[in-house]
C-alpha cells in the first residue's frame, strides 16, 4: 500500500502557531512570531475528513473554506499586523453542490478580502509547504506580497494537477513532464515556479513532513526578512513578481506584452 502524502499544511501551521490553536476543521487560524519578534496572523486551509462537503475533504478550497477565510481576514482588527498564509491546497472543490451555490463567487470573495487588506497596507506573506494548485492557490497564496517556498518532492505549483493537465491536453503525464523540462511555465515543481521570478526565497528543510526546531527557526527568519522587504519596498501591489532579476530573464516576453498593452491603453 502506498503511503499517503503528508498533511504539510497542518504540520507547518502547528509548527509555527504560538497559540495552541485547535487543529480540527478545514480552516486553521492562529498567531505566529517572526524572527524579529513581530506577531503575525496565521492561517491555513487543511484536510478535514469530517467535512459536510465531500469535495472539500482533502484540503481543497470550497464554499465553506473560502467564505470563512474571507470573514476571518476581514475581521482582523490591527490593520498593520502581518498575515502569513500556509499553503498546501490540491485544488478548489469541484462538485455539483459547489457549482450550484457559486464557488466562483465565494472564492472571489476570498480574493477580494485578501487583496483589499494587502492594498490597504497589511503585509501578506504566503508560505508554500506542499501543493499550490489551480484556483485554490490563486485565491489564497497568490494574493500575497511575497511568496516563500519549500523545496521538496511533494511541492507542486500549477493551474491544474498533473493527471488533469494530461487528460485535457490528451498527453500522458510522462509527455507533460518531458515538455516541462524546456518550458518552466508548464512544470509543476517549485524550482521551476521560482525560476519565473515570483518567489521571494526558497527553503530546504531537513524533514519537510516533520520540521524540527532548526527548520522552524529558519522559516521564521525568512518570514521576517520578507516582511522587512515588503515594508522597505513601499508598495502594496505585486509588481515585484515582474521586476525581479529572474523575471527579467525568464519572463522577458511577458513583460514586453504587458508593456505594449499598457502603452495602447
Range of the domain at 120: 8-237
Residue 182 resides in a domain: yes
Integer Cα distance of 10 and 196 in angstroms: 28
Query: Is 150 part of a structural domain of the chain?
Result: yes
Residue 244 lies in a domain: no
Q: What is the pLDDT of residue 33?
A: 96
C-alpha cell at 102: 457559486
How many domains are there within the chain?
1
DSSP 180: H
The whole-number pLDDT of residue 46 equals 97
Q: What's the pLDDT score for residue 2?
A: 40
Residue 156 lies in a domain: yes
Q: Identify whether 108 is part of a domain.
A: yes
The cell for 223 is 518570514
Give how far Cα 159 sits from Cα of 24, 138, 149, 215, Å.
28, 9, 17, 29
Residue 242 located in a structural domain: no
Please indicate, yes or no, if residue 3 is contained in any of the structural domains: no
Query: How, if at all, do strands 27-33 and 39-45 pair?
Result: antiparallel
Regions in the chain scoring below 50 on pLDDT: 1-3
114 assigned to some structural domain: yes
Neighbouring C-beta atoms of residue 150, cutoff 10 Å: 23
What global pTM score does this model have?
Answer: 0.91
Cell of residue 99, nine digits? 457549482
Q: What's 118's domain CATH number?
A: 3.90.226.10
Identify the pLDDT of residue 91: 93
Amino acid at each position: 500500500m502506498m503511503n499517503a502524502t503528508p498533511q504539510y499544511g497542518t504540520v507547518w501551521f502547528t509548527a509555527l502557531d504560538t497559540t495552541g490553536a485547535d487543529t480540527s476543521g478545514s480552516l486553521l487560524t492562529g498567531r505566529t512570531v517572526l524572527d524579529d519578534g513581530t506577531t503575525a496572523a496565521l492561517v491555513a486551509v487543511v484536510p478535514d475528513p469530517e467535512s459536510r462537503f465531500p469535495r472539500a475533504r482533502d484540503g481543497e478550497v470550497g464554499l465553506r473554506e473560502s467564505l470563512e477565510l474571507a470573514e476571518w481576514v476581514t475581521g482582523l482588527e490591527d490593520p498593520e499586523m502581518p498575515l502569513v498564509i500556509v499553503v498546501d491546497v490540491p485544488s478548489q472543490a469541484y462538485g455539483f453542490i459547489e457549482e450550484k451555490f457559486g464557488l466562483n463567487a465565494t472564492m472571489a470573495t476570498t480574493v477580494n478580502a485578501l487583496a483589499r487588506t494587502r492594498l490597504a497596507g497589511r503585509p501578506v506573506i504566503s508560505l508554500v509547504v506542499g501543493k499550490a494548485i489551480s484556483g485554490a492557490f490563486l485565491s489564497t497564496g497568490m494574493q500575497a506580497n511575497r511568496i516563500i517556498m519549500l523545496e521538496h518532492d511533494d511541492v507542486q505549483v500549477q493551474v491544474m494537477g498533473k493527471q488533469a493537465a494530461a487528460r485535457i491536453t490528451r498527453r500522458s503525464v510522462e509527455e507533460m513532464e518531458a515538455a516541462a523540462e524546456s518550458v518552466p511555465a508548464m512544470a509543476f515543481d517549485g524550482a521551476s515556479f521560482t525560476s519565473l521570478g515570483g518567489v521571494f526565497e526558497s527553503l530546504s528543510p531537513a524533514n519537510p513532513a516533520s520540521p524540527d526546531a532548526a527548520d522552524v527557526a529558519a522559516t521564521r527568519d525568512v518570514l521576517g526578512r520578507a516582511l522587512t522587504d515588503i515594508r522597505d519596498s513601499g508598495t502594496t501591489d505585486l509588481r515585484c513578481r515582474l521586476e525581479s532579476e529572474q523575471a527579467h530573464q525568464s519572463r522577458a516576453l511577458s513583460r514586453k506584452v504587458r508593456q505594449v498593452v499598457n502603452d495602447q491603453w
